[in-house]
C-alpha cells in the first residue's frame, strides 16, 4: 500500500480576518447567556450552598457565627452611639440593626463580585457555562447569609418590642426585587472589570470604605438637619433607604424612590453594555 503526499501550493497565502460579531449578534448572545443561566438555577443554588458549607466547614455554628458577631456589634455600637448622638435606644437600635445587616450584604457582595470570575478561572476554562451563572451564584450565596442575619433584626425588634406596620413593611417587597436585579448587575459588572484590570479590587474596597462613612448607616439622616436634601444624590443612601425605611415603619420620600430608580437603571444599563461587549473575552482575561 503506497501513500503519496501532495505538496502544498506555493505562492502567497491569503489570511482572511473577519470582524467581531455585530451589535445585534452580541445582544442575542447576551440574552441567550441569561436564559441559560436561568435554566441552571438549581445548579447555582447548589453551588451557593456548597460555598457556604466549605467556608464554614468544621464550625459548630456555621454561618451563624457571622450572625452572632453582627448581633454583638449592633449591641455594642447601639449602646455607644446612642449616647454619643443623644438618641433614644428604642429608636436607634432597630435602625442600626437593619442598617448593619443590609450594608453587610452590600459590602460582601461587592467584595465577592470583584473576584467572581477570577476565582472561577478553572471552571471557566474547562466547562462551558453561561457567565451570568457565576454572578447568580454570588448573589444566592450572599442572600443565604442575609437570611441568617435577619435573625439579628428580629431579635432587636423583639427586645425593643418595636414592629413596623405590616402594610408599610410590604413596601420592602418591590425594593427587595430591585436589590436582586441590582445585585446581579453589579456582580456581572465588577466581575468583568476586575478580571480585565486587577488593580480595580483595591480601588473598589477604598470606595466602599469611604461610602460607609458618608452614608447614613451608623448615623441617622436627621442628624445633618437642613442638609438632608443632599442625601438623594448619594446612590448608596437611596438604594439602602428604599428597603430600610419600610422595615422601620416609614415611607421613603418621592426623591428617594426617584434617585433609587435612576441609580438602578444606570447600573443595569452600564452592566448590560459592558457584558454584551466583553462576554466573549472574559475567558481570556481570567
Cα–Cα distance, 184 to 137 (Å, whole number): 9
- Cα radius of gyration rounded to whole Å, the chain: 24
pLDDT of res. 57: 75
Is residue 171 one of the residues assigned to a domain? Answer: yes
Residue 260, domain member (yes or no)? yes
Answer yes or no: is 251 within a domain.
yes
Within the chain, residue ranges assigned H as helices are 23-39, 41-55, 64-84, 89-114, 121-126, 131-160, 166-169, 172-196, 200-214, 235-247, 254-278, 282-285
Grid coordinates representing 39 are 435554566
User: Which pLDDT value is given to residue 7?
Assistant: 56
- CB-CB contact of 135 with 279 (8 Å): no
Q: Report yes or no on 167 lying in a domain.
A: yes
Q: So what's the pLDDT on residue 184?
A: 93
**Positive or negative: CA dihedral 281, 117, 217, 255:** positive
Q: Per residue in 124-169, pLDDT tens?
A: 888 888 889 999 999 999 998 888 888 888 888 888 777 778 888 8
Answer whether residue 18 is part of any domain. Answer: no
CA distance 199 to 84: 38
- Counting the structural domains of the chain, the total is 1
What is the model's pLDDT at position 17? 47
pLDDT at 80: 84
Q: Is residue 34 part of a domain?
A: no
Domain carrying residue 211: 40-279
Q: Which residues in the chain come in under a pLDDT of 70?
A: 1-21, 58-63
Written as nine digits, the cell of 124 is 471557566
In a domain, residue 26? The reply is no
pLDDT for residue 162? 76
Residue 29 lies in a domain: no
Distance CA 278, CA 268 (A): 15
pLDDT of residue 126: 84
Amino acid at each position: 500500500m503506497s501513500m503519496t503526499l501532495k505538496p502544498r501550493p506555493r505562492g502567497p497565502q491569503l489570511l482572511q480576518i473577519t470582524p467581531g460579531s455585530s451589535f445585534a449578534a452580541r445582544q442575542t448572545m447576551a440574552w441567550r447567556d441569561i436564559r441559560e443561566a436561568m435554566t441552571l438555577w438549581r445548579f447555582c443554588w447548589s453551588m451557593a450552598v456548597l460555598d457556604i458549607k466549605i467556608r464554614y466547614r468544621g464550625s459548630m455554628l456555621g454561618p451563624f457565627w457571622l450572625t452572632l458577631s453582627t448581633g454583638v456589634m449592633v449591641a455594642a455600637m447601639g449602646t455607644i452611639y446612642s449616647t454619643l448622638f443623644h438618641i433614644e435606644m428604642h429608636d436607634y437600635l432597630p435602625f442600626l440593626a437593619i442598617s448593619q445587616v443590609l450594608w453587610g450584604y452590600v459590602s460582601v457582595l461587592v467584595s465577592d463580585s470583584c473576584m467572581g470570575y477570577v476565582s472561577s478561572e478553572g471552571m471557566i476554562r474547562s466547562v462551558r457555562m453561561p457567565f451570568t451563572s457565576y454572578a447568580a451564584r454570588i448573589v444566592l450565596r450572599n442572600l443565604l447569609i442575609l437570611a441568617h442575619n435577619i435573625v439579628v433584626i428580629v431579635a432587636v425588634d423583639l427586645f425593643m418590642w418595636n414592629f413596623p406596620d405590616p402594610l408599610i413593611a410590604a413596601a420592602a417587597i418591590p425594593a427587595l426585587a430591585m436589590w436582586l436585579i441590582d445585585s446581579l448587575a453589579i456582580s456581572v459588572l465588577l466581575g468583568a472589570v476586575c478580571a480585565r484590570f486587577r488593580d480595580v479590587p483595591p480601588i473598589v474596597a477604598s470606595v466602599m470604605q469611604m461610602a460607609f462613612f458618608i452614608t447614613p448607616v451608623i448615623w441617622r439622616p436627621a442628624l445633618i438637619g437642613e442638609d438632608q436634601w443632599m442625601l438623594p444624590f448619594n446612590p448608596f443612601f437611596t438604594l439602602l433607604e428604599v428597603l430600610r425605611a419600610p422595615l422601620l415603619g416609614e415611607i421613603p420620600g418621592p426623591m428617594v424612590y426617584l434617585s433609587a430608580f435612576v441609580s438602578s437603571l444606570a447600573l443595569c444599563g452600564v452592566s448590560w453594555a459592558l457584558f454584551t461587549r466583553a462576554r466573549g473575552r472574559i475567558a481570556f482575561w481570567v
